[in-house]
Amino acid sequence: MATNYEQNLQQAGIAVIVMVARTNRLPDLLPLIPKVREILFTLKPGELIEINSF
């Protein structure tokens, strides 16, 4: 059951990509960009996708 602060992504019509890296500094995030670009072509509203560099 969703609490008051959680959002229904499907109902909002948005998708979210969570990028998990060692830090949020650009050198740590850049290796994730090819996967983000790949996911963007298939991402649908309501989806939450997590990608990481580990």
Q: Which residue in 27, 24, 31, 23 sits closest to 53, CA to CA?
A: 31
pTM over 0.85: no
Which pLDDT value is given to residue 1? 46
The answer to whether 44 and 13 are in contact (CB under 8 A) is no
Which pLDDT value is given to residue 11? 74
Q: CA 7, CA 12: separation in Å to the nearest integer?
A: 8
Q: What is the DSSP code string of 1-54?
A: ---TT---HHHHT--EEEEE-SSSSHHHHGGGHHHHHHHHTT--TT-EEEEE--
pLDDT in tens, 1-47: 444 445 677 677 889 999 999 999 999 999 999 999 999 999 999 89
Which pLDDT value is given to residue 7? 65
Which pLDDT value is given to residue 54? 76
Domain limits of the chain? 9-52
